[in-house]
């Protein structure tokens, strides 16, 4: 922030706005430092419980590490939100004033840009506001860019931790370690062998329905069926 409050990379910033934004963010940093000092008596207990959570598995420890990083970088997230809101307000203001120069306006009810006639006073005030916002935009954009890069760095670190957790959960590391270290604890492989039986498995034709020989050496048996009709019983075979 001290670097931004000066002349970063030789850029000529608006000094008044630069000092206001720098002091605003420095005040929030002082608040964050006071919060850290307030929580310092509990840091040792928190770290002890985090180390104890490693007994539950590496993924639990990595998840807690990601949460701790999110808590420790909460002020960076706040700076990113402040910079993004301020930058968006200026962009929306410039777009509205640019439509004023062209004789246009945004119709909120119909959600479209319509034509509109403005008088001389409105055009004069719009020109002044557009000039002020345009010259103040580089200072705001620089703060927004710096805080966006810091936020992306934190999100990248958390994303790598989450990717490592997903990788550990998807890989069968325990089975591989058990196979290498103690293979006798794993069940042996099973093999299936077809056993020869005397059961008939070949399809039979209609002519072979009368006699079925299912086992070697068994006697032939005649299968006769009947069906009942209204006039009496007629042999099926």
pLDDT at 212: 47
Q: Give the C-alpha separation, 153 to 166, whole Å.
A: 20
Q: In this prediction, what percent of the chain has a pLDDT beyond 90? A: 8
pLDDT value of position 71: 84
What 3-state DSSP class applies to 142?
A: helix
pTM (whole model) above 0.85: no
Check residue 234 and give its pLDDT: 45
Confidence category of residue 171, pLDDT binned at 50, 70, 90: confident
Q: Token pair of 145, please?
A: 């860019």
The band of 148, judged by pLDDT with boundaries at 50, 70 and 90, is very high
Q: pLDDT band for 235, please (50, 70, 90 cuts).
A: very low
Which is more confidently placed, 125 or 186? 125
Using DSSP's 3-state secondary structure scheme, residue 226 falls into: strand
**55 CB-near residues (< 8 Å, 6+ apart):** none
pLDDT of residue 169: 82
* Torsion sign (Cα): 24, 25, 26, 29: positive
Q: Is the pLDDT of residue 177 over 60?
A: yes
Q: Please tell me the predicted confidence (pLDDT) of residue 188.
A: 60
Question: For residue 163, what pLDDT is reported?
Answer: 92
Q: Which of 45-59, 156-170, 178-192 holds the top average pLDDT?
A: 156-170
Residue with the bigger pLDDT between 179 and 31: it is: 31
The answer to which of 78-87, 116-125, 139-148 has the lowest mean pLDDT is 116-125
- Band the pLDDT of 217: cuts 50, 70, 90: very low
- Choose between 209 and 126: higher pLDDT: 126
- Spatial distance between the Cα atoms of 144 and 16, rounded to a whole number of angstroms: 17
Q: Under the phi-then-psi rule, with left for phi > 0, alpha for psi from -120 to 50, and beta for the rest, what region is 212?
A: beta
- Return mean pLDDT, the chain: 75
Assign 205 a pLDDT band (cuts: 50, 70, 90). Answer: low
Domain-by-domain residue ranges, the chain?
Answer: 2-170
Of 93 and 111, which is predicted with more confidence? 93
185 has a pLDDT exceeding 80: no
**What percentage of the chain carries pLDDT values higher than 70?**
74
In the numeric block, which tokens belong to residue 46?
A: 């928190």
- Please tell me which residue, 51 or 133, carries the higher pLDDT value: 133
**C-beta separation of 225 from 236 below 8 A:** yes
Give the model's pLDDT for residue 66: 87
C-alpha to C-alpha distance for 47 and 53, rounded to whole angstroms = 10
Structure tokens belonging to residue 222 = 């005649």
């Amino acid at each position: 922030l001290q670097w931004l409050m000066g002349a970063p990379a030789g850029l000529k910033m608006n000094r008044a706005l630069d000092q206001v934004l720098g002091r605003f963010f420095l005040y929030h940093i002082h608040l964050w430092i006071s919060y850290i000092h307030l929580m310092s008596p509990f840091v040792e207990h928190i770290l002890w419980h985090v180390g104890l959570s490693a007994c539950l598995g590496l993924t639990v420890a990595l998840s807690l590490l990601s949460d701790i990083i999110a808590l420790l970088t909460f002020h960076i997230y706040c700076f990113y939100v402040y910079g993004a809101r301020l930058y968006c307000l200026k962009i929306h203001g410039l777009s509205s004033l640019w439509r004023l120069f062209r004789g246009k306006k945004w119709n909120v009810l119909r959600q479209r840009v319509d034509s509109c006639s403005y008088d001389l006073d409105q055009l004069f005030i719009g020109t002044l506001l557009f000039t002020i916002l345009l010259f103040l935009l580089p200072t705001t954009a620089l703060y927004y860019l710096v805080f966006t890069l810091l936020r992306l760095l934190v999100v990248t670190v958390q994303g790598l931790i989450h990717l490592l957790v997903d990788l550990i959960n998807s890989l069968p590391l325990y089975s591989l370690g058990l196979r290498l270290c103690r293979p006798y604890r794993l069940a042996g492989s099973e093999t299936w062998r077809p056993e020869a039986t005397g059961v008939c498995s070949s399809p039979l034709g209609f002519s072979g329905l009368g006699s079925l020989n299912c086992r070697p050496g068994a006697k032939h048996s005649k299968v006769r069926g009947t069906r009942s009709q209204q006039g009496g019983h007629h042999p099926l075979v």
